[in-house]
């Protein structure tokens, strides 16, 4: 658009405004029913992605225990629940980052872990950053984490 002739640029920039004005009387429908007609299915792939880790801190051993990690057959704590599509949609970050349901999810999983095991005094939920490799070769860890949330026993109150 930046290189287009001025007239064409004005038309292109005006069209969304016109569309918004025309659709304004019907906006309540899309807001109430949460519907739209813009379908973005895997519009971006590759690059940097995430891998969910859920860990609990053992108050006696003073170390973190890995409970669940995506794509890790040895750490499958509550995996059927966590991988159910509606739950996964809540914690899986989008292109714009962590979703609004990520924090309540972290609170909920922390409460579940801490209420079920008195040995643990803290729960940590975080996303390992990974790079998707070329030609379907898998992923390479970037060695750091994003969206780390930690809760202690205060969440049980």
DSSP 42: S
Closest approach, Cβ 22 to another protein, in A, equals 18
* Interface map 61-100 toward another protein (x if CB under 8 A): ---------xx--------xx-xxxxxxxx-x------xx
SS3 92: coil
Contact between 2 and another protein per CB under 8 A: no
Which stretches within the chain are classed as H helix? Answer: 6-23, 27-33, 79-82, 85-91, 102-116
In angstroms, the Cα distances linking 110 to 39, 106, 107, 129, 150 are 34, 6, 5, 21, 8
What values do phi and psi take at 71, rounded to 5?
60, 30
> Which of the stretches 6-14, 33-41, 57-65, 118-126 binds another protein when contact is defined by CB under 8 A?
33-41
Count residues near another protein (CB under 8 A): 51
Residues of this chain that bind another protein (CB under 8 A): 32-46, 49-52, 70-71, 80-81, 83-90, 92, 99-101, 103-105, 107-108, 111, 130, 132-139, 155
């Amino acid at each position: 658009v930046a290189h287009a002739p001025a007239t064409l640029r004005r038309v292109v920039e005006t069209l969304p405004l016109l569309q918004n004005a025309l659709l304004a009387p019907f906006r309540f429908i899309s807001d109430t029913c949460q519907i739209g007609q813009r379908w973005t299915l895997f519009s971006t792939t590759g690059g940097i992605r995430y891998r969910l880790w859920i860990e609990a801190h053992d108050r006696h051993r003073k170390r973190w225990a890995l409970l669940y990690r995506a794509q890790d057959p040895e750490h499958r704590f509550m995996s059927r629940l966590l991988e159910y599509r509606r739950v996964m949609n809540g914690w899986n970050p989008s292109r714009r980052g962590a979703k609004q349901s990520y924090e309540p999810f972290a609170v909920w999983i922390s409460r579940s872990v801490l209420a079920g095991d008195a040995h643990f005094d803290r729960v940590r939920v975080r996303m390992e950053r990974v790079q998707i490799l070329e030609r379907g070769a898998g992923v390479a860890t970037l060695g750091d984490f994003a969206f780390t949330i930690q809760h202690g026993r205060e969440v049980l109150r």
